[in-house]
């Protein structure tokens, strides 16, 4: 094919994306070296002062980062297990197969913040249905949103509700695209359903699983909407994630310079850790 045409196809998209992104990224790096805040809203140069502050004097950021890691890893593991189980259940013929497939997909189509608003009333400690129903069976009011430990689990429940469908969709699409022969071979050998899963389905699904887990981890690492509405990072800082902390520093306290430092560090950590996770997962799951 002609040599020049290919650029006509590629460049519009590539340059629009680069054009929109180049400024924010360079600007963030430059801003992170400045002391821009509400008192001195200007682009002065203070060197790496902000970075020194971040690495020596800001435990709150690191705590929020570990909290984020905990929340995103645990939600993704749960989503994977439940999503895979659901996908396996509606993969082959069952009654009302298509009905259940639609139902299982619905949460990912709903806006997370808006559903979280509903969840907030759902988990309301005195007027919500959950505590009311639990009260009828004699379980005392659970502090879904105001207990520092339970609030984390509430966030996990909401995240699992919201995003298991995405995992389910990716895994079911994968299952439906698997070749038929290995299953026939296993059936001829008289393998039980359990052995079929361990020796045939799971290995065949490994690459798809890795892809799905990584996609979900990327998305989960951005947990923000749910926390913002459900708990506002509270009680105290019990559910505060990195994004939310950066948001408080930057757009509530207007320490733009420092927030940019946080953003940039966060981005670098995200890219490095996701790359490592992707490599490790690939090694672990594809042995053969």
Q: Which of residues 159-198 bind other proteins (CB under 8 A)?
A: 161, 169-170, 172-174, 176-177, 193
Sole window of 16-24, 54-62, 181-189, 280-288 interacting with other proteins (rule: CB under 8 A): 16-24
Distance (Å, whole) CA 276 – CA 282: 10
- From residue 104 to residue 143, what is the string marking binding to other proteins with x (rule CB under 8 A)? xxxxxxxxxxxx-xxxxxx----xxx--x-----------
From first CA to last CA, the distance across the chain in angstroms is 39
Q: Closest separation between CB of residue 126 and other proteins, Å?
A: 9
CB-wise, 122 or 199, nearer to other proteins? Answer: 122
Q: Does 285 bind other proteins (CB under 8 A)?
A: no
Taking only Cα atoms into account, the Rg of the chain, rounded to an integer number of angstroms, comes to 23
Interaction between residue 80 and other proteins (CB under 8 A): no
Asked whether position 47 contacts other proteins by CB under 8 A, the answer is no
Which is nearer to other proteins, 82 or 150 (by Cβ)?
82
Give the shortest CB-49-to-other proteins separation in angstroms.
Answer: 18
* Site stretch for other proteins (CB under 8 A), options 5-13, 53-61, 72-80, 138-146: 5-13
Q: With respect to other proteins, which residue has the nearer C-beta, 109 or 149?
A: 109
CB 107, min distance to other proteins, A: 6
Taking CB under 8 A as the criterion, the residue among 101, 203, 234, 237 binding other proteins is 101
Cα distance between residue 202 and residue 182, in whole Å: 12
Count of residues in contact with other proteins, rule CB under 8 A: 89
Rank residues 47 and 135 by Cβ distance to other proteins and give the closer one.
135
Query: Is omega for the bond preceding 235 within 30 degrees of 0, making it cis?
Result: yes
Residue 218 interacting with other proteins (CB under 8 A): yes
Figure out which of the listed residues 89, 187, 198, 276 binds other proteins, where binding follows CB under 8 A.
89
């Amino acid at each position: 094919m002609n040599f020049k045409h290919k650029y006509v196809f590629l460049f519009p998209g590539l340059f629009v994306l680069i054009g929109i992104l180049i400024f924010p990224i360079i600007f963030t790096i430059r801003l992170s070296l400045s002391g821009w805040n509400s008192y001195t809203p200007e682009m002065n140069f203070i060197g790496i002062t902000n970075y020194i502050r971040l690495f020596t004097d800001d435990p709150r950021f690191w705590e929020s980062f570990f909290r984020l890691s905990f929340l995103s890893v645990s939600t993704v593991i749960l989503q994977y297990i439940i999503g895979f189980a659901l996908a396996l259940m509606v993969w082959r013929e069952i009654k009302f197969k298509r009905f259940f497939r639609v139902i299982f997909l619905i949460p990912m189509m709903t806006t997370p913040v808006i559903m979280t608003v509903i969840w907030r009333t759902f988990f309301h400690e005195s007027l919500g249905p959950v505590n009311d129903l639990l009260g009828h069976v004699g379980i005392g009011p659970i502090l879904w949103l105001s207990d520092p430990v339970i609030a984390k689990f509430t966030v996990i429940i909401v995240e699992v509700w919201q995003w298991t469908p995405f995992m389910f969709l990716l895994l079911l699409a994968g299952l439906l695209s698997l070749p038929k022969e290995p299953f026939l071979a296993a059936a001829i050998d008289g393998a039980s359903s359990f052995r079929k899963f361990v020796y045939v389905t799971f290995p065949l699904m490994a690459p798809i699983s890795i892809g799905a887990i990584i996609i979900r981890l990327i998305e989960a690492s951005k947990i923000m909407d749910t926390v913002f509405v459900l708990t506002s990072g509270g009680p105290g800082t019990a559910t505060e994630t990195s994004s939310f902390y950066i948001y408080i520093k930057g757009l509530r306290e207007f320490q733009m310079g420092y927030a940019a430092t946080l953003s940039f560090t966060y981005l670098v950590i995200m890219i490095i850790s996701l790359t490592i996770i992707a490599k490790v997962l690939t090694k672990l799951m594809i042995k053969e």
